[in-house]
Structure 1
């Protein structure tokens, strides 16, 4: 201890330890702890230096053991400093190729090209099926009008419905005549049989087992068990006028009790070929449409709703031979693109999972270092620094894109009999959304673009707490509006439409229309609706939105102050901040956390390194630690 104090007193000129480390020298072995702490304080005071300095000053550790702790601290700082560098700094530090960044760039290009191609095909598919559904409505639905093709707000036409029993049978007759005279349609529709003969037509009736009403004396006989009765209608008619569904049902001993009829549907199928899909190397597409005409009487309100649905199924085409080669080329190119996307996403998934795993290993190593060297646990903020949420988001979008690409390949090979276009579009669309969100990670390396990310991160806790209160108030208005205004107002007829209406009112959409549509016979409900709407609009537009904006602006002002005065640091960041070596200084090329050839060669030619975790304040009497002059390791 006396020799240590004598050395400290005799050394009037204290070298700059930071500069010595940047030059890669071993001057740490000749300096006392006071010299190290004085050098570190020129940049920022390290709370971890006080405990080790007191231990060295009190003589608990001798000079070799003290040098070992300094060496371990310096090595850990450089490892952590290199770990939290961005790809550009890592390239400057060790000439390490930013392969994860390159993989992400390639993935963005491939995924975007894949999405554009699928979006074009998906649009053509959906638009084609919708147009065919409209054509089927004109061919098979009695009373269908062109004004019902485009949904309008507010609705200008009532829903298509039946009100008479004769209209029920006439509707079935009209649909059968349209199907039996399919050759008269402008569209190239055919029957499903191989010889183009008229296919099968099924009529299914869903009725209560008992449902007799005697309205004159307010009595009824009712059994809520629903019975399903399906019959196959064969084409045995010679002319359009001879098609009579009512007579056909009577011949089959089927009597329809409309007071017990829940619904009825007429089902048949047609085939067609889409020539519009044909491109330079793309052949036409073949479809089978399963048409269902639904007559819904489930409300028993005297109005039977009439609707048509057509489920498309893609088929293998047997077209002209000149398209066979082109079809193979197109299929091979699309398959190759899908395989490339799956491969690059798998590589990205593996690299990000590996990075998260290594980060957790380094986290446990850092926790162990803090515990043994300083006798304290690493804070929660410091531990969360090792959890990179960007990597987790990339892993999620990789899995979504891989699933979407697999479904897309099955769709293009026509392995799926049902319609999987919507599922595939959801996977690919959400995955591509997260892929482009991931670009923000690399923009965050620049100060100008990082302001948005840091502002959202700073405001997120306050915004979450604020939204909890705002959503509770919003839920109360939603349930109240649905209950009181639902039976009388178009926008409040369901809980979902009520919520959508209120959200539109918050953003100033159709305020006057919401007021003008309101029409009540009761003056009480009319005045209540006005008070309800005025209160909600005033509260959310003038109060809630203003408070929400103020929270975001407060976080933005805080971030600007941090840029001017410095960001607050947790214990891990304060520990790393002592290392002020530049990335391009060259000192990080010898401090590698990975096992490489140079490090393995150093372990073989020199001596065995003593782990820094063994320096916990007490020394082993059977061994003496000293730095090796050749390889800079602590040898025993």
Structure 2
């Protein structure tokens, strides 16, 4: 015992004992590993834990709350304005139908047609007269378009086969497939009728494909004045079509309009309109600044996560000799940050377009509403991220994320079967059922059947003109409902429930399931332990763990 004691005394007096360099290197490696472990663990903390760990204020959380509030206010304001625009368009379309379509009744557009030659001439003559008497009959602020000092004329165009002789009685037909267009201009202030142009214009009913009447009317939307906004000027291009392409003896009549919104050239509105516009533009500018700040913070967090991923990958490759799995790498890529960046980008673009709409530089209400609506939707979906910090709410997010790959694979397989039914129903049942006339309506009908909607009318509305097709439709619908509702839909629900049970068992057991979680589970330091705080001069954490290791080494040395 004395010799050994004397030996240790000798080592203590030396400046560099034989094992000192090796011990220093081990302690330095341990320092780096613990530093990396704490950095990664801090990255995955929620805002409250980060506040206790380093005292850092949850700026991103507060910014997201403020952003949700002001973006929602912006969306409601724009939604009311957009609703007025859409209402004005729809009501003008209904007005034009009542003004220019003879004996028109609301809701009869699908069955509105003419069957006699005299009726065709009468309807065209009625449209021309109504167009000429517009100032005397309309209750709105409609006006003709002007080219200089002259009103724009009404255009009457007939499309027909160039030449042809058709004799159904002899079952002979000779037709030239080239289509010729013949047009006639009618100015509004002369109150002429089609009869006065008969020597110059004749309808070739046997060869006629269509007759199109086109004219442009102007109007001003005064609804915005009540909401302290500047009014818009509208150009309505009205197109009335007599469709005879089927040559079945029934000429369908349709009216549609193309709308162009322009800035009024000369306007003067008394009141607080200008002030309200300035406040709205100021709010939009505040939202743009807020979204840019949010985007910058999230982009910085994404970069930090990628840097930690590279450090962890290098550690595993250098010290453990193995590659990091793709699932562990993706843990460092926060999908919520990507969602926030996308929503901020959409909101910034939509806000810029909204400012241009408010100042009458741009009139694309629909495009702007898509950007603002999608951006607001993503912002509100992002709230789920903060709900996930509570264990009882987090299981929903974990289940959706875990089940997503299996759900995508299942949808791909089920989608192939779904498309096969769509094509089959369109080809076979389409001529006998209005819900199967186009691929779009077939898909909508079958999707509603999966959800149990509109099932009986789908069976009932099948025409019984062909017994074979009627029997086929029954087999088709019964097999589709049975396959998708009782089998495919049940399997889809089973995938979600199995994933939910798996996630729930993992949470109850608390056993790490990935290499990254096992790596982090070694660090048992709590957020409020003070070990996560950074030194002022160093870029790493306080080496408290290293100090503990050195103290343990000294204790072992003294005991030895």
Q: Same fold (TM over 0.5)?
A: yes
| Aligned equivalent of 1:560, options 489, 499, 504 | 504
Aligned residue for 2:404, secondary structure, equals helix
Aligned residue for 1:204, secondary structure, equals strand
The TM-score with structure 1 as length reference comes to 0.77
- 1:542-574, CA deviations, whole angstroms, 9 ceiling, x for partnerless residues? 222222222222122222211211254322221
- 1:266-310, CA deviations, whole angstroms, 9 ceiling, x for partnerless residues? 122222333333226335444332222122223333332211122
CA displacement at 1:225 relative to structure 2: 3.3
Aligned to 2:553: none
Pair 336,63 (structure 1): closer, same or farther in 2 beyond 3 Å = same
Alignment of 1:78-227 (within 5 A): 78-148=38-108, 158-182=110-134, 183-193=136-146, 198-227=151-180
- 1:506-550, CA deviations, whole angstroms, 9 ceiling, x for partnerless residues? 111122111111231332222222222222212222222222222
Question: C-alpha distance in 2, partners of 1:271/1:224?
Answer: 38
Pair 479,144 (structure 1): closer, same or farther in 2 beyond 3 Å = same
Aligned residue for 1:88, secondary structure, equals helix
Question: C-alpha distance in 1, partners of 2:340/2:240?
Answer: 45
Aligned residue for 1:169, secondary structure, equals helix
1:258 matched to 2:202? The reply is no
Q: Specify every segment of 5 or more residues in structure 2 that has no aligned partner in the other structure, as ranges.
A: 9-18, 544-549, 551-560
Aligned to 1:599: 538
Please give the root-mean-square deviation of Cα atoms over the aligned residues, in Å: 2.9
CA displacement at 1:194 relative to structure 2: 9.4
Aligned to 1:527: 471
Aligned residue for 1:258, secondary structure, equals coil
Higher RCO, Cα 8 Å, sep 6+: 1
Pair 96,223 (structure 1): closer, same or farther in 2 beyond 3 Å = farther
Question: C-alpha distance in 1, partners of 2:364/2:511?
Answer: 49
Aligned residue for 2:340, secondary structure, equals helix
Aligned residues: 527
| Aligned equivalent of 2:532, options 588, 606, 616 | 588
Higher alpha-carbon deviation: 193-202 or 452-461: 193-202
Higher alpha-carbon deviation: 565-574 or 575-584: 565-574
Aligned residue for 2:176, secondary structure, equals strand
CA displacement at 1:318 relative to structure 2: 7.1
CA displacement at 1:394 relative to structure 2: 1.4
Q: Specify every segment of 5 or more residues in structure 1 that has no aligned partner in the other structure, as ranges.
A: 1-5, 11-58, 150-157, 592-596, 604-608, 610-626, 628-636
Higher alpha-carbon deviation: 518-527 or 71-80: 518-527
Question: C-alpha distance in 2, partners of 1:496/1:280?
Answer: 39
Pair 378,237 (structure 1): closer, same or farther in 2 beyond 3 Å = closer
CA displacement at 1:139 relative to structure 2: 0.3
On the 8 A contact 1:191/1:197 being kept in 2, the answer is no
- 1:161-195, CA deviations, whole angstroms, 9 ceiling, x for partnerless residues? 22233322222211111111112222232223499
Higher alpha-carbon deviation: 119-128 or 179-188: 179-188
- 1:575-594, CA deviations, whole angstroms, 9 ceiling, x for partnerless residues? 11111111111111126xxx
Aligned to 2:404: 460
Pair 464,165 (structure 1): closer, same or farther in 2 beyond 3 Å = same
Aligned to 2:194: 245
State the 4+ residue runs in structure 1 displaced beyond 4 angstroms: 194-198, 317-321
Pair 555,65 (structure 1): closer, same or farther in 2 beyond 3 Å = same
1:358 matched to 2:287? The reply is no
Aligned to 2:492: 548
Pair 473,125 (structure 1): closer, same or farther in 2 beyond 3 Å = same
Higher alpha-carbon deviation: 432-441 or 560-569: 560-569
1:297 matched to 2:244? The reply is yes
Question: C-alpha distance in 2, partners of 1:96/1:300?
Answer: 77
